[in-house]
Chain A
């Protein structure tokens, strides 16, 4: 993580001076992570793609406003979060999102399918705040302080959302987890 920050800082400083290749390198480094975060949050590949594109465009346009060049990652996630929220509010009511997340099918790309569907369904049953906090913690590996910075709320609130979300997931996934454990 430290190496990534050091390199990000260098790339951000070079991109600010107008070096296009430096920003291209930043996009390459972060696009898959940002896309996955948005995909898990929105539960829709097209939304995730559109918001990813908007996120990188907005980040490029506002690169001069980034106070600490070494904190490009959390800053980028904050932009992605804001873009995702405004995109979802603009396009779809929340109920539809949750329904789709619960019942969503993604073309048999995952294995084992049973666990995958159960996890997607379980994530869809969390509140939007809990889901995003859990995704940033479990999938993206941020610390509570970093998630607090991204979502612009106290770390204690983040901790509460993650713990509550994780407890719900534990209960929802218990039968699947036990079944998978029993088979292995």
Chain B
């Protein structure tokens, strides 16, 4: 190996293999020119390292500093359990609101129509017959309304049950996720 083949910059920068380093160290013992070349590289690097390490004029903002703090909605969205409870609460409120808005109307059994019917039928039908007829009509309508109300109640109960099932599943999922990743 001739002098030109030796990589003295690589030697000084520690970018050569161990066998090459050993060979070059042996060569240095007998070659003054290569010794001077290596020395000039090392002196240059020594001069460069005279630049002292600077201390940052102010510290870098940490994650706990305001610049890193997530906004309230980011914190909310990143919390699975909170999101699950909020979803379930909103669903429950929606079901309750739906139930209130579609409450069965009270049947108006005001006497006016009865009197009207009675007056119209007065010449042919007795008062007892009219009373019985009205009672039968009212009873039929009440039965019908009760039947509808029961159907709505059953439907609402089913919705509530589904909502609670969904909420339960979400909570279980979040608890499992939290346990798996160790977060909240």
- How far does the alpha carbon of A63 sit from the alpha carbon of B20 in the complex, in Å? 40
- Per-residue B-contact encoding for A51-78, CB less than 8 Å = 1, 0 else: 0110011001000000000000000000
- How far does the alpha carbon of A9 sit from the alpha carbon of B139 in the complex, in Å? 78
Closest to B55 in A: A32
Contact (Cβ within 8 A) A32 B56: yes
- Specify which chain B residues have a CB less than 8 angstroms from the CB of A32 in the assembled complex: 53-56
- Per-residue B-contact encoding for A117-145, CB less than 8 Å = 1, 0 else: 01110010000000000100111000110
Given A110-B52, A166-B9, A118:B47 Cβ within 8 A: yes
Interface: A93 (CB within 8 A): no
Contact (Cβ within 8 A) B58 A49: yes
- Option from A57, A118, A169 in Cβ contact (under 8 Å) with B68: A57
- Specify which chain A residues have a CB less than 8 angstroms from the CB of B40 in the assembled complex: 170, 174, 177
Binding site of B, secondary structure by majority: helix, strand, loop or mixed? loop
Contact (Cβ within 8 A) A173 B47: yes
Q: Looking at the assembled complex, report how far the CB atom of A113 sits from the nearest CB atom of chain B, in whole angstroms.
A: 10
Given A36-B53, A162-B13, A27:B44 Cβ within 8 A: no
- How far does the alpha carbon of A48 sit from the alpha carbon of B56 in the complex, in Å? 9
Interface: A109 (CB within 8 A): yes
- Specify which chain B residues have a CB less than 8 angstroms from the CB of A174 in the assembled complex: 40, 44
Q: On chain B, which size bracket covers the interface? A: 20 to 34
Among A40, A120, A166, chain B packs the most CB atoms within 10 A around the CB of A166
Interface: A23 (CB within 8 A): yes
Contact (Cβ within 8 A) A24 B62: yes
- How far does the alpha carbon of A120 sit from the alpha carbon of B48 in the complex, in Å? 8
- Per-residue A-contact encoding for B7-22, CB less than 8 Å = 1, 0 else: 0010001010000000
Contact (Cβ within 8 A) A45 B48: no
Interface: B107 (CB within 8 A): no
Contact (Cβ within 8 A) B68 A177: no
Q: Which of A149-184 contact B (CB under 8 A)?
A: 159, 162-163, 166-167, 169-170, 173-174, 176-177, 180-181
Among A40, A110, A118, A138, chain B packs the most CB atoms within 10 A around the CB of A138
Closest to B50 in A: A115
- How far does the alpha carbon of A134 sit from the alpha carbon of B182 in the complex, in Å? 43
- Specify which chain B residues have a CB less than 8 angstroms from the CB of A49 in the assembled complex: 56-58
Q: Looking at the assembled complex, report how far the CB atom of A143 sits from the nearest CB atom of chain B, in whole angstroms.
A: 7
Closest to B37 in A: A170
- How far does the alpha carbon of A170 sit from the alpha carbon of B9 in the complex, in Å? 11
- Specify which chain A residues have a CB less than 8 angstroms from the CB of B52 in the assembled complex: 109-110
Contact (Cβ within 8 A) A31 B51: no
Among B43, B63, B183, chain A packs the most CB atoms within 10 A around the CB of B63
- Per-residue A-contact encoding for B67-111, CB less than 8 Å = 1, 0 else: 110000000001000000000000000000000000000000000
Chosen A-B contacts, 26 in total, with CB atoms closer than 8 Å, are: A17-B181, A17-B183, A18-B183, A23-B63, A27-B60, A27-B63, A32-B54, A32-B55, A35-B55, A35-B56, A40-B51, A49-B57, A52-B56, A52-B60, A53-B61, A115-B47, A116-B51, A123-B48, A134-B48, A139-B48, A143-B15, A166-B44, A169-B44, A170-B40, A176-B47, A177-B43
Q: Which of B113-166 contact A (CB under 8 A)?
A: none
- Specify which chain A residues have a CB less than 8 angstroms from the CB of B45 in the assembled complex: 138, 166
